[in-house]
Amino acid sequence: MTSKPSKTILITGGSRGIGRAVGLLAGLKGWSVSVNYRSGAAEAEETAQSIRASGGRAHVVQGDVSNEEDVVRLFAETNDVFGTIDAVVVNAGIVGPSLTLAEMTGPRLRNMIDTNVLGALFCAREAARIMPRPDTEPSGSIVFVSSAAARLGSPFEYVDYAASKGALDTLTIGLSKELAEKNIRVNAVRPGLIETDIHASGGQPDRAQRLGRQVPMRRPGTANEVAEAILWLCSDAASYTTGAIIDVAGGR
C-alpha cells in the first residue's frame, strides 16, 4: 500500500506567534510546512526544527511580503521544494504604536498598507496562479489572518491597522467567489487579543491590558487557539466552507 503524499502549507510570517503555532500544529498533523519570515532567521529556523522534531517536513524561506519579487520567489521556491501548494495562510502582519490618525506619518501609513494589504494581495495573487486544480481533487485553501479590529474599528488606537484588516475581510468575500470555480476556498479568521510578541511593537504593553478588559471570556487567547481554527479551514474537513470569516476572540 502506498502512503498518501503529505499536503503542503505555506505560512507567511510563520516564524513567530500565530504563524508559528499554525506551523507546529500542521507538522503534527503530517503537513509539509513552508515557514516564511522577514528578518528573524534564527526564529524561523528554530520553528522549522521543532516541526521536523515532531515528524513533519519543513522548509524556511525568507521574504518580505510587501515586496512583489520576494512574494513571487517564496511561492515558486515552496512549489519547487514540495511539488505542490495546498494551503496558504496569509498571516504576516504588523501593528504600529497607538496613535490618532492626525498623528500618523506618511511612512507609517504606507508601511501598514504595503505590509498588511498589498502583501496580502501579492500572496493571494500568487496562490491564484499556482493553486488551481480540477474539481475532482480536494480543494486548495487560502486563509487570511484578519483581526477583530476590522469589525470594531479601534478608534484612537490604530485605525490604519483596523482599515487594513477590513480590506482583508472584503478580499475574502470577493476572492472566494472568484476562485470557487478553480476549486480554491478562501476564508479568514479574526483573532481578538492573542498573547504574542506583536503587542510589544511600539512599546505599549498597556494597550494589551486595556484591550483585555474588553474580552467577555476575561482572558487573552493563545496562538494555538487561533491555529486550530486556521488549520481547520485549510483542511478537507472544511471542504464546503468558503467566503467565511470566523471570529476567534473570546466573545469580544
Residues forming a β-bridge with 32: 8, 57
Which residue shows C-alpha cell 515552496? Answer: 78
Among 19, 27, 96, 250, binds ligand NDP (CB under 6 A): 19
Alpha helices by DSSP H, the chain = 17-28, 41-53, 68-82, 106-113, 119-130, 149-152, 159-180, 205-212, 223-234
**Residue 250 in contact with ligand NDP, rule: CB under 6 A:** no
- Site stretch for ligand NDP (CB under 6 A), options 52-60, 78-86, 90-98, 176-184: 90-98
Q: What letter represents residue 222's amino acid? A: T
d(CA 227, CA 225): 5
**Residue 18 in contact with ligand NDP, rule: CB under 6 A:** yes
Q: Out of 37, 158, 161, 240, which one is annotated catalytic?
A: 161
**Residue 112 in contact with ligand NDP, rule: CB under 6 A:** no
Toward ligand NDP, which CB reaches closer, 81 or 152?
152
- 240 catalytically annotated: no
Hey, which residues between 147 and 206 contact ligand NDP (CB under 6 A)? 147, 191, 193-194, 196-198
Quote the cell numbers at residue 40.
528573524
Phi first, then psi: what are they for 56, rounded to 5°?
-90, 170
First to last CA, the chain: 48
Among 29, 30, 40, 68, binds ligand NDP (CB under 6 A): 40
- Site stretch for ligand NDP (CB under 6 A), options 60-68, 102-110, 124-132, 174-182: 60-68
Among 24, 25, 65, 89, binds ligand NDP (CB under 6 A): 65
Which residue shows C-alpha cell 488551481? Answer: 132
**Residue 37 in contact with ligand NDP, rule: CB under 6 A:** yes
Toward ligand NDP, which CB reaches closer, 45 or 182?
45
- Closest by CA to 251, choosing from 224, 223, 212, is 212
Toward ligand NDP, which CB reaches closer, 17 or 166?
17
Hey, which residues between 204 and 233 contact ligand NDP (CB under 6 A)? none
Among 1, 2, 4, 39, binds ligand NDP (CB under 6 A): 39
DSSP string, 60-103: EEE--TTSHHHHHHHHHHHHHHHS---EEEE----------GGG
- Closest by CA to 17, choosing from 31, 33, 37, is 37
Toward ligand NDP, which CB reaches closer, 36 or 235?
36
Interacting residues with ligand NDP (CB under 6 A):
12-13, 15-19, 36-40, 64-66, 91-95, 115, 119, 145, 147, 191, 193-194, 196-198
Active-site residues: which are they? 161
